[in-house]
C-alpha cells in the first residue's frame, strides 16, 4: 500500500489526476494524517477505474466486432478456451486492490490533519481552510463511490463476492482464510447503499466549490452508478441468482438521475466521442486521457501511412442492426430493418441508414480524412493488403480524424463511463418491464416509450409506437446507441441471451471492385450458459475453499 512510486504514477499519468510520488517508507499513520498525501492517495484510488480505451478490444468478444490481430486476447472468449486458470479479463485482484484503497481512506478519514492550514491564516480570509475541510469530507463520498464502482465491476462478472468493510490486504492469504462470498442480492444492495451514502455527501450543485476538479465524482455520477447497478440487479441473470431488485426500483433509480435536471442529450451524437466530449451536457462521468494518438494508430484504415492495423473492426452482425430510413423526398416517413435480401437495400447498403451507423462505422465508399475508403478486395484499405480489416469495416467511434500519423500529432481523449442516453435507455427498459410501454403510475413525467424515443429522435430516427416497443426493440436500441462503449458484453449476459447472440457466427462483408456485396461467415464463436458468469480465479478457490461458479 505504501509503495506509491513510479508504478502508481505510470498507472495514472494519462488520467486527469496527476499522481505525485510518495516516499515508500512513510508509515500509515503519517500518510493519512498528511492532507497532501491523502489527496494523492485518493487520486491513486481513481486509477483503479477501468481503462476504457485499453479494454476496447473486449468488444471483439461480442457480436459487435472482430480484431484484426489474430492473437488478440478476446479470442480466448470467442473460442471458448478460457477458464478459471486463464481469463483474458481477470480483474479480480485489481478491483479488490481498489476496494482496499477506498477502505483505507474510510478507516482513516478522521485522522487527516488540516490544522496546519488554519495555523497559517494571517487574515480574516479562511477560505483555504474551509475548502480543505470540505475536500476531506468530499473525499469520503468519492471513496464510497469508488468502492461501489469496484464492487459493481466484480459483481457483474463473478456474481456474489465478499463484502469488506475493513482494508484487508488482498495479497495476504491469511486475511482471506475465513472470508465467505456474499450473495448476489447482498452485493447489489450493498452497492446501492454505498451510492446512497456517497450522494448524501457530495452535493448535486458543486458550483460553490470551484476548487473541486472537473472529472471528479459528482452527485450525478453516483446516482448513475446506482441506476446501472439496480438495472442489472433487476435483470434476468441476477434475479435468477437471487437478486430481489425489482424493475420498479431500477426505474426509480434512473429517474433520480433524470430528475436532477443536470443532463441533456447532445444535439450531435458524434460530439460524445470527440476531443471535446467532456464539455457535453450529456456526459455524466468520464476518465480523461489527455493528448494521445494510440487509438488512431491502431484503428485508422490502412490506406494511411503509419496505421499499424491493430484494429477493432465492426462486424456485419452489428452493421445489419442499423435501420434504413424510409423517405418521401427529403422527408423521413418511417424506418425498417435492414435486409440484404431486399434488392433496394442490397443495391445501396449504406444509404439512408440510422445516422449512428456513419458515426460508428467506416464503410466502403465512406470519406475519412478527405480520403475515400475502399474496403473491397484490392481496394486501398481492403484485403489482401496486410493488416486490412477482416470484416469489411473500420471503427469510426472514438477515432479522431484530426490526428496526423505521419507527424505524430495528438488530440484529447476521454472515455465516458456514464452518459445521459444510457440513463434514458435504462429508464425505458426498467419502466417497460415494470409498467408497460406507455404507463407512468409513479408520476415521473416520462413513460418507457417517451424515454426511448428521446434517444431515437436525437438522431432523427422515427419514433416507435407503443405496439412496437418490446424487449427486442430495447435490445436493438441499446446495441446501436451504445456500441463500443463497454455495454454489449454485459447487457447480453444480464439478459441471459449469450447463447442467442454470442454463439452465432461473426459475419463479414465481401465486396468486389464491381460493387457486388456478399455476406460471408468470418468466424464461428463459442458461448455456453456457464459463461454468463466468469469463473472465480482458481487461486482464490484454492485459498478460500469456495464453491466455484456453476459449470466451471
Give the integer Cα–Cα distance in Å for 84 and 202.
Answer: 39
The length of the chain is 552
The residue with cell 418507457 is 448
Per-residue pLDDT in tens (0 to 9) along the chain, 552 residues:
233 333 333 333 334 344 445 565 677 777 888 898 899 999 999 999 999 999 999 999 999 999 999 889 999 999 999 999 999 999 999 999 999 999 999 999 999 988 888 887 777 778 899 999 999 999 999 999 999 999 999 999 999 999 999 998 877 877 777 899 999 999 999 999 999 999 999 999 999 999 999 999 999 999 999 999 999 999 999 999 999 999 999 999 999 999 999 999 999 999 999 999 999 999 999 999 989 999 999 999 999 999 999 999 999 999 999 999 999 999 999 999 999 999 999 999 999 999 999 999 999 999 999 999 999 999 999 999 999 999 999 999 999 999 999 999 999 999 999 999 999 999 999 999 999 999 999 999 999 999 999 999 999 999 999 999 999 999 999 999 999 999 999 999 999 999 999 999 999 999 999 999 999 999 999 999 999 999 999 999 998 899 999 999
Pairing of β 361-362 and β 283-292? unpaired
Q: Of 145, 144, 135, 141, which Cα lies nearest the Cα of 36?
A: 135
The confidence score (pLDDT) of residue 21 equals 54
What is the number of other CB atoms lying within 10 angstroms of the CB of residue 125?
Answer: 9
Q: 22, 31 in Cβ contact below 8 A?
A: yes
- Cβ(216)–Cβ(39) under 8 Å? no
| Residues 64-121: tens digit of each pLDDT | 999 999 889 999 999 999 999 999 999 999 999 999 999 999 999 999 988 888 887 7
CA–CA dist 464, 332 (Å, integer): 14
Contact partners, residue 163, CB within 8 Å, separation at least 6: 151, 182, 186, 187, 190
* Pairing verdict, β 361-362 and 394-395: antiparallel
What was the pLDDT predicted at 36? 87
**Burial class, 497, CB count within 10 angstroms (exposed 0-12 / middle 13-18 / buried 19+):** middle
Q: Cα dist. 357→269, 349, 352, 367, 483 in Å? A: 11, 11, 10, 14, 10
CB 410 within 8 A of CB 377: no
Angle at 5 between CA 2 and CA 7, to 5 degrees: 105
Distance (Å, rounded) from C-alpha 504 to C-alpha 372?
Answer: 32
Q: Are 403 and 409 in contact (CB under 8 A)?
A: yes
Give the separation between CA 179 and CA 88, rounded to whole angstroms: 25
Q: CA-to-CA distance for 134 and 137, rounded, in angstroms?
A: 5
pTM attached to this predicted model:
0.94
Q: What whole-number distance in Å separates Cα of residue 103 and Cα of residue 166?
A: 6
SS3 state at 326: strand
Burial of 220 (0-12, 13-18, 19+ CB in 10 A): buried
Please state, in angstroms and rounded to a whole number, the distance separating the CA atoms of residues 253 and 135: 27
DSSP class per residue in 21-83: P--TT--HHHHHHBHHHHHHHHHHHHTTS--TTTTGGGGGGTTTEEESSTT-TTHHHHHT---
- Whether the Cβ atoms of residue 551 and residue 529 lie closer than 8 Å to each other: yes
Burial of 172 (0-12, 13-18, 19+ CB in 10 A): exposed
> Do residues 208 and 144 lie in contact, with contact meaning Cβ atoms separated by under 8 Å?
no
Contact 463, 323 (CB under 8 A): no
- Report the first-to-last Cα separation within the chain, whole angstroms: 33
What does the DSSP 8-state code read for residue 269? Answer: G
Q: Return phi, psi of residue 390, to 5°.
A: -85, -20
Residues whose CB falls within 8 Å of the CB of residue 56, separated by 6 or more in sequence, listed in order = 295, 312, 398, 484
CATH for the stretch 218-298+413-482: 1.25.40.10
How far from the centroid of its chain's Cα atoms is residue 231's Cα?
A: 15
- Cβ-in-10-Å burial (0-12, 13-18, 19+) of 250 comes to buried
Count CB atoms within 10 A of the CB of residue 128: 14
Bridge partners, 509 (sequence order): 519
Amino acid at each position: 500500500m505504501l509503495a506509491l512510486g513510479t508504478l502508481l504514477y505510470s498507472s495514472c499519468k494519462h488520467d486527469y489526476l496527476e499522481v505525485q510520488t510518495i516516499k515508500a517508507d512513510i508509515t500509515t499513520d503519517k500518510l493519512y494524517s498528511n492532507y497532501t498525501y491523502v489527496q494523492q492517495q485518493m487520486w491513486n484510488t481513481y486509477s483503479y477505474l477501468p481503462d476504457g480505451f485499453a479494454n476496447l478490444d473486449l468488444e471483439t468478444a461480442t457480436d459487435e466486432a472482430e480484431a484484426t490481430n489474430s492473437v488478440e486476447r478476446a479470442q480466448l472468449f470467442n473460442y471458448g478456451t478460457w477458464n478459471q486458470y486463464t481469463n483474458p479479463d481477470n480483474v479480480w485482484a485489481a478491483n479488490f486492490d481498489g476496494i482496499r484503497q477506498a477502505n483505507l481512506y474510510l478507516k482513516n478519514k478522521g485522522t487527516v490533519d488540516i490544522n496546519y492550514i488554519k495555523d497559517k491564516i494571517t487574515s480574516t480570509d479562511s477560505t483555504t481552510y474551509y475548502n480543505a475541510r470540505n475536500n476531506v469530507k468530499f473525499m469520503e463520498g468519492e471513496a464510497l463511490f469508488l468502492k461501489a464502482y469496484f464492487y459493481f465491476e466484480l459483481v457483474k462478472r463473478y456474481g456474489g463476492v465478499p463484502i469488506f468493510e475493513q482494508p484487508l490486504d488482498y495479497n495476504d492469504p491469511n486475511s482471506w482464510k475465513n472470508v465467505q462470498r456474499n450473495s448476489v442480492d447482498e452485493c447489489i444492495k450493498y452497492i446501492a447503499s454505498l451510492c446512497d451514502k456517497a450522494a448524501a455527501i457530495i452535493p448535486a450543485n458543486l458550483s460553490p466549490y470551484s476548487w473541486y476538479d472537473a472529472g471528479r465524482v459528482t452527485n450525478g455520477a453516483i446516482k448513475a452508478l446506482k441506476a446501472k447497478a439496480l438495472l442489472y440487479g433487476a435483470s434476468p441473470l441476477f434475479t435468477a441468482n437471487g437478486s430481489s431488485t425489482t424493475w420498479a426500483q431500477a426505474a426509480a433509480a434512473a429517474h433520480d438521475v433524470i430528475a436532477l435536471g443536470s443532463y441533456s442529450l447532445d444535439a450531435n451524437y458524434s460530439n460524445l466521442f470527440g476531443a471535446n466530449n467532456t464539455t457535453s451536457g450529456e456526459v455524466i462521468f468520464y476518465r480523461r486521457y489527455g493528448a494521445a494518438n494510440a487509438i488512431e494508430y491502431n484503428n485508422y484504415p490502412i490506406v494511411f501511412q503509419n496505421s499499424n492495423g491493430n484494429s477493432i473492426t465492426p462486424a456485419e452482425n452489428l452493421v445489419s442492426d442499423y435501420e434504413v430510413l424510409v423517405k418521401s423526398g427529403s422527408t423521413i416517413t418511417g424506418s425498417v430493418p435492414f435486409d440484404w435480401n431486399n434488392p433496394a437495400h442490397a443495391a445501396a447498403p449504406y444509404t439512408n441508414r440510422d445516422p449512428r451507423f456513419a458515426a460508428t462505422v467506416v464503410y466502403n465508399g465512406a470519406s475519412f480524412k478527405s480520403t475515400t475508403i475502399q474496403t473491397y478486395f484490392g481496394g486501398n484499405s481492403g484485403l489482401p493488403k496486410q493488416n486490412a480489416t477482416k470484416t469489411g469495416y473500420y471503427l469510426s467511434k472514438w477515432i479522431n480524424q484530426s490526428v496526423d500519423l505521419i507527424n505524430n500529432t495528438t488530440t484529447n481523449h476521454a472515455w465516458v463511463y456514464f452518459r445521459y442516453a444510457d440513463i434514458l435507455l435504462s429508464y425505458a427498459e426498467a419502466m417497460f418491464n415494470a409498467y408497460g410501454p406507455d404507463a407512468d403510475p409513479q408520476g415521473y413525467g416520462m413513460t418507457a416509450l417517451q424515454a426511448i424515443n428521446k434517444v431515437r429522435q436525437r438522431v432523427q430516427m422515427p419514433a416507435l409506437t407503443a405496439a412496437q416497443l418490446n424487449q427486442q426493440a430495447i435490445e436493438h436500441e441499446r446495441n446501436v446507441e451504445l456500441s463500443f462503449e463497454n455495454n454489449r458484453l454485459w447487457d447480453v449476459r444480464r439478459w441471459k441471451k449469450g447463447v442467442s447472440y454470442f454463439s452465432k457466427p461473426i459475419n463479414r462483408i465481401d465486396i468486389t471492385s464491381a460493387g457486388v456485396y456478399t455476406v460471408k461467415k468470418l468466424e464461428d464463436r463459442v458461448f455456453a450458459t456457464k459463461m454468463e458468469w466468469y469463473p472465480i480465479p482458481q487461486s482464490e478457490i484454492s485459498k478460500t475453499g469456495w464453491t466455484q461458479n456453476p459449470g466451471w
